[in-house]
Structure 1
């Protein structure tokens, strides 16, 4: 069975961003990995230098939708487009933690939300955080035409439609997984430089068929079936697609990914060590310039 895995965020200020996810949202560091060169599937964006990946969430990746924080050592900020609308979390405790940490609680259309460094929005449902299920309810992405998007996500990728309104569609692979919400913004979708990527898993044997279906229907394959290595961990196979609005979609072989994504009890310590040893700000200062802006 296919399952929703995570969303990839590009982050510029790693320390402030980690504080937000840990101290405000209340997520835990599940694993942390450092890479000396860019990813073959552009997991860190179109950058070739040193980068890191930190997975954070409310629980293990086996049964929670989590966040992948990708940090490129040479970049301080990323320009946001209108492609990412927000992630909804069921947890009044998030608001309590925000207040305790003097983190601004904002409101839009009577909905309360918190903003991560970089501008990413997290909408909060004011209900007790569930203990026996994932608090992440859905991720909302922009669509220039919901009906056209549904032909891709529902008809080609076989996601079930849970709700459909004039300008919104809610989809998912299973009742107990975080849902994908597509919202028609009435115009073009701009991904700018902060664009993210949503990831799903499927049986590894299905990856070639997914790629072939995209080819047969004239849809975009950004990265053809490739194996990705993580130092000291499992090698996974992935195919990276794009929907009609250019949203990046990663399908990864589930069997190897479950091995790769086991919670690392040393993850938090590895992240802390990496942040303490990060001298990129000092290096750029010595060169008389600031970090790059994407």
Structure 2
């Protein structure tokens, strides 16, 4: 059953959409897969606990059917988010991204041989392995901080059905995944409480639609947190998907979405780039705050 589950994306809250677009497009070399504008908050709080106008931009090295991508959510009235110690980094392999960063003067720190640390706008850490980009997905893993590694491993492996791929020499980390060919999830013991700040993200997986009620029922039985019971989400003009939103023992948000409808929803939109550029050009929120001599509020 678990082989049918797959890792889809990580949701980042973005305060500066233009700088963020530069990072993903020009530094990492990802493509804009689709861009959508919404007039009001999401029923499954995809954009966080905000009720106003927001946008969602999916970026990746290829279609979400076989690549792990980033979902960038932008709330028009919010200029910045406070980072916690919950998201510890996304690792990808691309010497092209390293040379892009050097060419553009994007700050890079070498952390070990052939591995560089950089930051997306907003301070999100990205690790870039300086080796040729693989023909399959260059995104290798997402690392999340946990306060009790054993408890978290039980949650992700026993309850959510991930395979422990590598317990490595490092007793503080565990690598899990649904399959070898997909982006992995690394859990790292932070040695204390996990703080999500206001920038807290969310990791998304798909499963066959019929498994959604079972996931929800299992979490109820285990007395684990369900943030959003099974709900249908509409995207104007696109497929309606069903999701259930969970939180792991440290409060990391997890979305499970029905795979069949999601494959339709996540089809690459060739106008994605154009739609994002148009939305950024039409976004007058920075000017409005400047004109009123106000700073765009932090979350």
**Into which bin does the TM-score normalised by the smaller protein fall?**
over 0.9
User: Which one of the candidate residues 99, 115, 118 is aligned to 1:114?
Assistant: 118
Q: Is residue 129 from structure 1 mapped to residue 143 from structure 2 by the alignment? A: no
Measured against aligned partners, the alpha-carbon deviations of 1:203-259 in whole angstroms (never above 9, x if no partner) come to 111101100100000000000100000011110000000000000000000000000
Measured against aligned partners, the alpha-carbon deviations of 1:257-279 in whole angstroms (never above 9, x if no partner) come to 00000000001000000000001
Q: Which structure 2 residues correspond to residues 175-194 of structure 1 after superposition, within 5 A? A: 175-194=180-199
Query: What corresponds to 1:153 in structure 2?
Result: 156
User: RMSD value over aligned CA atoms?
Assistant: 0.9
Q: Which structure 2 residues correspond to residues 207-218 of structure 1 after superposition, within 5 A? A: 207-218=212-223
Query: What corresponds to 1:68 in structure 2?
Result: 71
Query: What corresponds to 1:239 in structure 2?
Result: 244
Query: What corresponds to 2:287 in structure 1?
Result: 282
Shift of 1:109: 5.7
Partner Cα separation in structure 2 for residue 51 and residue 237 of structure 1: 20
Q: Report the more deviating stretch, 282-291 or 78-87.
A: 282-291
Q: Which structure 2 residues correspond to residues 248-259 of structure 1 after superposition, within 5 A? A: 248-259=253-264
Partner Cα separation in structure 2 for residue 98 and residue 28 of structure 1: 16
Shift of 1:285: 2.7
Runs of 4+ in 1 over 4 A off after TM superposition: none
Give the secondary-structure state (helix, strand or coil) at the position aligned to 1:293: coil
Partner Cα separation in structure 1 for residue 124 and residue 111 of structure 2: 14
Q: Which sections of structure 2, spanning at least 5 residues, go unmatched?
A: none
Q: Which sections of structure 1, spanning at least 5 residues, go unmatched?
A: none
Give the secondary-structure state (helix, strand or coil) at the position aligned to 2:167: strand
Under a length normalisation based on structure 1, what TM-score does the superposition of the two structures give? Answer: 0.98
Give the secondary-structure state (helix, strand or coil) at the position aligned to 2:79: strand
User: Which one of the candidate residues 9, 13, 19 is aligned to 1:10?
Assistant: 13
The aligned length equals 293
Shift of 1:288: 3.1
Q: Is residue 19 from structure 1 mapped to residue 22 from structure 2 by the alignment? A: yes
